[in-house]
Amino acid sequence: MRTLIRNARIFDGSGTPPFDGAVLIEGDRIAQVLDNAAPLASAADRVIDAYGMTLMPGMVDAHTHLTWGSSVENIYPQFLLPPDELKKAAWRNARVLLDHGFTSLYSAGALGDRIEPELAAAIVRGETPGPRLVPSTLERSPEGEDSVDTGDVFNGRGPEAIRAFVDHCAGEGIRSIKLILSGEDALKPGTAQDILYTDEEMEAVGAAAKAAGIWIACHTYTTRAIRMALGAGARILYHCSFADEAGVEALVEAKDRVFYAPGPGVSVAALEANPPPHVDMSAMKASAADRMALEAKLVPALRARGVRILIGGDYGFPFNPHGRNARDLEHFVTHFGFTPAEALRAATQYGGELMDLAVGLVRPGYLADLLLVDGDPTEDVRILQDRERLKMIMKNGVLHKALAEAETV
């Protein structure tokens, strides 16, 4: 199948200004990016006229929790779900995210084993719609008196328990391990400065994950946690809110091999939330306010030093449901001083680099993960929050959502 998308305003994902042009797709790949060339129409099986629309790469969410059940289509009042409902929610959330323009996801942990590898395989087989997925397993915080009540625990402490866990993940088809390295004030006030692993345990997980070919994602807040995660070879760090100057320098030094996702989505949503009287969100709101104030300085400082900063904001809570993920783009502009094009680059090119796949750019040879948007998101990123303005969604050259006016020749 050869598809020509013509008369488009193209944002290629790199952050450079959009330009007028056309894209020729052969199979699952972009074959050419060119000036509008009507003669090519005769060589295409399908021609899509994108007049008045912006063509851009599909977006990548770098901090996804598909098993955090709530979406814009189905809000769960509780966080933990029965196994059957948990799986149903994860399958639904994958489709919801694709419906909202996200064609790739990097998991930041699950609430159950085997759910995400099974889902990733089902998506590849075409059994259920969804973005391509780097699957994870249960978020892991270590057992012990200082552990925070989030995720699951290892079977014991020490390097051997860590190595056994990595072996388990490798056997289950996990591609990224999520480690809760710092505590979490939102769940257990006063713990964000805590370190939940020993140096020996982090050394063990780094060596074992490298040997197994598994990536590591880390929940980190402080400079010490950042350094421990980097020492273990972590691929992506989340939050980092309490990083001091030394923490900034550590991230800058590692900028060619590490990615950073601050996760403003959950913070802003927590501050906006108006829960019923029986739900106490005071600790979460206080933590969110602290983090946003710190990250308002940290994120621009890291961006200025060339650290790759990605979107992804702990979506899936009832007050922060899946399907609102594109709000992170607005937060990057409003709270962190990004231009719209810089925010879009965080969701496209840098997301593709995190996935280690040829996605996130409109370039020859890249996978044809493409969106047609009614309007120009390089002028106003908020339009990407409206799924009705996503007129076409393509993944691997296949239309998940077809433009109503598409012409087949």
Instruction: For residue range 181-233, list pLDDT tens digits in order.
Output: 999 998 889 999 999 999 999 999 999 999 999 999 999 999 999 999 999 99
The four Cα atoms 245, 248, 252, 257 give a dihedral, to 10 degrees, of 150
The CATH code of the domain that includes 262 is 3.20.20.140
Strand partners, 132: 104
The CATH code of the domain that includes 367 is 2.30.40.10
Query: In this structure, are 319 and 389 located in the same domain?
Result: no
Query: In this structure, are 71 and 160 located in the same domain?
Result: yes
Instruction: For residue range 11-24, list pLDDT tens digits in order.
Output: 999 999 999 999 99
Query: In this structure, are 28 and 71 located in the same domain?
Result: no
Whether 401 and 390 have beta carbons less than 8 Å apart is answered as: yes
- In order of 33, 88, 288, 315, 328, the CA distances from 65 in angstroms are 34, 14, 19, 7, 15
So what's the pLDDT on residue 404? 80
Average pLDDT for 24-45: 82
Query: In this structure, are 41 and 63 located in the same domain?
Result: no
Is the pLDDT at 146 greater than 70? The verdict is no
Query: In this structure, are 223 and 370 located in the same domain?
Result: no
Whether 268 and 327 have beta carbons less than 8 Å apart is answered as: yes
So what's the pLDDT on residue 145? 47
Is the pLDDT at 282 greater than 50? The verdict is yes
Q: For residue 391, which amino acid is it?
A: K
- In order of 5, 54, 243, 382, the CA distances from 361 in angstroms are 15, 14, 31, 20
So what's the pLDDT on residue 247? 98
Query: In this structure, are 44 and 93 located in the same domain?
Result: no
User: Tokens 């998991």 sit at which residue?
Assistant: 107
Is the pLDDT at 258 greater than 50? The verdict is yes
State how far the Cα of 220 lies from the Cα of 407, in Å rounded to an integer: 50
So what's the pLDDT on residue 331? 98
For the chain, the average pLDDT equals 93
State how far the Cα of 19 lies from the Cα of 107, in Å rounded to an integer: 33
Average pLDDT for 117-127: 97
Q: What are phi and psi of 387, to 5 degrees?
A: -65, -20
Query: In this structure, are 35 and 153 located in the same domain?
Result: no
Query: In this structure, are 76 and 44 located in the same domain?
Result: no
Q: Does 113 or 39 have the greater pLDDT score?
A: 113
Cβ–Cβ contacts within 10 Å for residue 236, how many? 24
Number of domains in the chain: 2
Query: In this structure, are 316 and 201 located in the same domain?
Result: yes
Instruction: For residue range 37-68, list pLDDT tens digits in order.
Output: 555 656 789 999 999 999 999 999 999 999 99
Residue 71, in any domain of the structure = yes
The four Cα atoms 203, 258, 61, 272 give a dihedral, to 10 degrees, of 90
Closest CA to 312 of 119, 105, 149: 105
State how far the Cα of 142 lies from the Cα of 228, in Å rounded to an integer: 15
State how far the Cα of 116 lies from the Cα of 112, in Å rounded to an integer: 8
Is the pLDDT at 6 greater than 50? The verdict is yes
So what's the pLDDT on residue 154? 59
Query: In this structure, are 88 and 188 located in the same domain?
Result: yes
So what's the pLDDT on residue 155? 66
Is the pLDDT at 150 greater than 90? The verdict is no
236-239 sheet: strands from edge to edge: 176-180, 215-220, 236-239, 259-261
So what's the pLDDT on residue 143? 65
Closest CA to 21 of 45, 46, 56: 56
So what's the pLDDT on residue 270? 96
So what's the pLDDT on residue 156? 74
So what's the pLDDT on residue 405? 61
Task: Measure the CA angle with vertex 27, ends 376 and 25; round to 5°.
Answer: 35
pLDDT category, 136, cuts 50, 70, 90? Answer: very high
Q: Which domain holds residue 72?
A: 59-325
Residue 354, in any domain of the structure = no
The most confident of the ranges 28-37, 77-86, 328-337 is 328-337
Is the pLDDT at 147 greater than 90? The verdict is no
Is the pLDDT at 5 greater than 80? The verdict is yes
- In order of 84, 198, 307, the CA distances from 58 in angstroms are 30, 39, 22
pLDDT category, 408, cuts 50, 70, 90? Answer: very low
CA 97, 100, 103, 108 torsion-angle sign:
negative
Residue 380, in any domain of the structure = yes
Instruction: For residue range 259-274, list pLDDT tens digits in order.
Output: 999 999 999 999 999 9
Q: Are strands 2-10 and 370-374 parallel, antiparallel or unpaired?
A: unpaired
So what's the pLDDT on residue 202? 97
Query: In this structure, are 167 and 234 located in the same domain?
Result: yes
Query: In this structure, are 72 and 14 located in the same domain?
Result: no
So what's the pLDDT on residue 409? 41
DSSP string spanning 21-60? EEEEEETTEEEEEES--GGGGGG-SEEEE-TTEEEEEPEE
Closest CA to 48 of 393, 312, 302, 396: 393
Q: What are phi and psi of 386, to 5 degrees?
A: -105, 105
The two three-digit tokens of residue 16, written as one number: 């450079």
Residue 348, in any domain of the structure = no
Q: Give me the helices (H) in 48-99, please.
A: 83-99
